[in-house]
Amino acid sequence: MIATAAAVRVRRPAWVILLGGIGAGVLGLLPWLVTGMRLPLQNLWAEDVLPDDMPVALLPFSQYDLALLLGMLVWGPAVAGLMVRREPVEARARAVLVAAIGYLVVAGVATAQAATVVADGLRADDPRSVLYFRGVLAVILCSVLVGVVVLVLLARAPRAPASSGATVAALACGIWLNALIVPKGVVASTTHVAVLGHARWIPAVLVGAALVWCGLGGVGKVVAWLVNIVLLWAVPAGLTAVSYAAGSRVLAGAPEEMLAAGGAVFVRALGPDGSSLGYAALALAIGVVGSGTRTYLARRRAGRAVSGESAQPVPTGS
């Protein structure tokens, strides 16, 4: 009865969860909000304008900012998922739905506004405009979907699948944080470069912590470790490849060449020339050391408990 009463006391009302989901969505957009939200220059814009004359857009709708879009639209709901996981277990189903609605309100408004602004400004007589618009919009919608999945995993899933959600969230956090350290349009100073050099390891540290939290034992957790390490190894390399291919004006209009160039960059980024291998190695090292330490401490506490029990005097009968 005491545990039940305590659980009821910590259960937050729906409107608080809703505001939390909205706030998390806005938090995800923060790296873009601090820039003033001027739409990036568009290669297919109908009129020649200066950067400061571009309209305001709630998302950086551009083929050059695909990674940034993914980071912002996934990190926000990830924060909402962590918030919901603090709810009592019996209240999480409702909380997930309410938080997701709050996030989707922000994501939906931002997507609709940015898409409308871009659609109104692109060249109507150029068939590439339709391809470009649909391509970037597809990335935005997929990012929102991934964000919702991460929210659900972090909020309700058992530790093994939830740790994979945490890995995706960590990768998004890295993109989000980098864009906040050096906002779009700001020339990076020596200090910025130094901070970025250290901040780039944060996703690996977070994934390592997620591995420790996941724990060892059982096929499910072993698979989760493997999935998480592969994600940390492959996703940054994939984003590098996509950013290179999609951001190249030389390759624009040549899908086959763009695909080939992206594939070559992806393979190279997976190897020693890229950073992904180092990220995966660091996360694995943290996971192994942390899990080993956790197991040792647990056994030590158990041993002390057994020793304490054996030291208790055995009561004798009268």
The tokens describing 46, both together, are 């109908």
Please give the Cα distance from 178 to 32 (Å, whole number). Answer: 12
Res 241 pLDDT > 50: yes
Classify residue 49 by its DSSP letter. -
Mean pLDDT of 264-291: 91
Query: Which residue ranges make up each domain of the chain?
Result: 1-156, 159-308
Res 1 pLDDT > 80: no
User: What is the reported pLDDT for 120?
Assistant: 94
pLDDT tens profile 242-277: 888 877 665 666 677 778 888 888 888 888 888 889
Number of neighbouring beta carbons within 10 Å of residue 124: 10
Please give the Cα distance from 32 to 188 (Å, whole number). Answer: 16
Q: What's the gap between Cα 135 and its chain centre? A: 21
The tokens describing 149, both together, are 């999945």
Res 87 pLDDT > 70: yes
**pTM score, whole prediction:** 0.89
Residue 215 CB partners (closer than 8 Å, separation 6+)? 159, 221, 291, 294
Classify residue 54 by its DSSP letter. S
Q: SS3 breakdown of the chain: % helix, strand, coil, rounded to 5?
A: 75, 0, 20
pLDDT tens profile 2-35: 344 444 446 889 999 999 999 999 999 999 999 9
pLDDT tens profile 129-172: 999 999 999 999 999 999 999 999 999 999 999 999 999 999 99
Residue whose structure tokens are 């940034």: 68
Please give the Cα distance from 211 to 296 (Å, whole number). Answer: 16
